[in-house]
Every structure is written in structure tokens, then in C-alpha cells.
Copies of this chain bind each other. A is one copy, B any other.
Amino acid sequence: MSRVVSLAVIPGDGIGPEVVTEAEKVLDAAVAGTEVTVEKTRFSLGAGRFLETGDTLTDEDLAAIKGHDAILLGAVGGVPGDPRLKGANIERGLLLKLRFELDHYVNLRPSVLYPSVPGPLADAGAVDFVVVREGTEGPYVGNGGALRRGTPHEVATEVSVNTAFGVERVVRHAFDLAEKRSKKLTWVHKTNVLVHAGSIWQRVVAAVAAEHPDVAVDYLHVDAATIFLVTNPSRFDVIVTDNLFGDILTDLAGAITGGIGLAASGNINPDGAFPSMFEPVHGSAPDIAGQQKADPTAAILSVALLLDHLGLAEEASRVTRAVEADIAARTGAARTTSEIGDAIAARLQA
């Protein structure tokens, strides 16, 4: 009955290692005494590795990572403007490369406003929705280029590539999720401007919606969606959208639910062909790195998503409940990164 889960751990840069330490602490506490053993392999990847070796993600790294059941990632990215990183694009070469190579087509980003958490909205109401962001298409494909670079006649293109195949699989996933939640789905795009991509989305949503007559479906342009996120966020339950719009909406969603210190995400390959990757939405925040100032909660909630993805629903919900209890007990007094991790782990042991 015992089960071994192999986990690739990528602490990364900046506050990444600090928050990952706490996430691992909570993961260990969650599986302690169960049939599950987690075997971890650490991968040194990110700006730090690049500065040391010049590598971003080698074929060997990628092959080794692929051999794991799941990935836990802290955050990657060096100090902005570091001249030694000029020409390196850690985000594209590492984070996005992993999402694309591992076919993470569902980028799952839940947003919950906990009653005790101060948010920027005067009257947010109850906020509890999930953004299903497409993760392998759209303007993120890296398809573009420049002509006459560096001259006054320079032309640069960025090509958003969208496929019926790619849109359908993520839309289906979102409808399945809506069936398990409040049966309400909002799809977001900019169909009046991006007419070709928008047309795929429109037809795919209509077709999948026809198979889910019990799910209420509405559509918002991305600009209108940002308005509703600040004026009436409780209108949302499941949002499904394109890669770039999902990036924007989930940062905004994080902000209205008390900051991206709490926002977790899963980069999921639902087919199981490749390991899924779990990471806080926040970045590496080099300005506060190593100071025990970062909130590890987003990383810890990412562990809950990870456990859930591995089919360990009971362990996942214990982590979520421990986090909720910790958040509810927050007094506003400053705690270090490890104090927060310790407190949440202790609730799991209790």
C-alpha cells in the first residue's frame, strides 16, 4: 500500500529557496504517518545557475525533470537590470520552456479572499473563483522576430498561435471544473479585435457548452473582465481564458484577494504524460531575498494543489485547512518566512 512520489524541487532565485523550504516543511508534515513517501531531487536552476555555468535549462536537466512525478518551483529570475544577465531570459528559457516542454496546458490559479485578509477593495463580497489559464499557446509561443533591428526602420512581430486542439482541451477542463463547482463559467477574450483567435474560442466554447447544458456560460472582453474583478469579483466562479489574458487577470485577482503572497498556481498536464509543476504566482523578489520577509503561504498553497493533483485529496485539504486556520489567526504582527511555515506545519501535526 505504500506509495513513493518523486518530486523535482526547483528552489530558484531570490525568495524562491526560502518559500520552498517552508513548502517542503508543510509537504513533509502532510504526508508524515501516511502511506506516501516523497523522494525529492533538487535542481539548481535559475539566474544563479546561469551566472555560474551559463546554462538555463539543458537537455539533461529537462530529461531528469521529466522522470519525476511532479515539480515544486519557488521562483526564478535575477536582479532586474543585472548587466551579467543581459541577453539571458530566464523566464522564457526556463519557466516558459518547462511549461511548453511539459505541455502544461492548464494553468490553474485559484483566488480566494479570506475573511481576515485585508484587500484593497472597500466591499469585495465573497471572492472564490478559479482562473483556468491556457498555458501552451497564444502570444506566449515565442513566435515572432525583428527586421532591421536597431535601425529606425525596425519592425518586430509577435505571433499569437491558437489551435482548435489547444483551445478545446483547456475549455473542456474548465467545464469539468465548473461542473464540480458552482456550474458557472466565464470565458474571457478580446473577440472584437483578435477575431481569428477569438473565433476559435467562441466556437469551441459554444460546442463544449452544448454538452454541459447545466453550466451557465457568459463571455467578457478582457478589458471588461478587469472592471468586474474590482467592482464585483464575486460574480466569478470559473474563468477560462488565453495565456496572456490569464497572466494579467490572475495578477489582478491576486491583488484583490490580498496580494500575490497568497496566490498559488499549478501548471498542469492533465493527461499525465509529463509531470505537472506547482509554484506561487509571485516572482523572485530579489529586493527582499534572504531576509525572511517573504510570505511562504502561496508556495504552501501550491503544495495543496500538488497533493490534489497527485490524487491525495485528503492530504491536500488538510494543508488548505491548516493555511486557512493560520490566516484566520493572523494578528498583523510580522512573522518570518520560517515562522509562518512552522506555524502551518504545526497545525498539520496537531
What 0/1 pattern do residues 205 to 243 of A give for CB contact below 8 A with B?
000000000000000001110110011000000000000
- B contact residues around A156 at 8 Å (CB): 161-163, 196-197, 199-200
How far is it, in angstroms, between the C-alpha of A159 and the C-alpha of B222 when the chains are bound?
18
Instruction: Name the residue of chain B whose CB is nearest to the CB of A162.
Output: B156
What 0/1 pattern do residues 242 to 260 of A give for CB contact below 8 A with B?
0010011011101110011
Q: Verify A152–B123 contact, CB threshold 8 A.
A: no
Partner of A159, one of B89, B158, B224: B158
Chain A interface mostly: mixed
Q: Verify B200–A226 contact, CB threshold 8 A.
A: no
Q: Verify B197–A226 contact, CB threshold 8 A.
A: no
A65-117 interface with B by 8 A CB criterion: 89, 91-92, 96
Q: Verify B92–A193 contact, CB threshold 8 A.
A: yes
- B contact residues around A164 at 8 Å (CB): 151-155
Q: Verify B230–A230 contact, CB threshold 8 A.
A: yes
Interface residue stretch chosen among A12-20, A139-147, A268-276: A139-147
Q: Verify B194–A158 contact, CB threshold 8 A.
A: yes
Cβ of A330 < 8 Å from any Cβ of B? no
The 9 nearest A-B residue pairs measured at CB? A223-B251, A156-B196, A154-B164, A226-B252, A158-B160, A227-B255, A122-B122, A91-B192, A158-B194
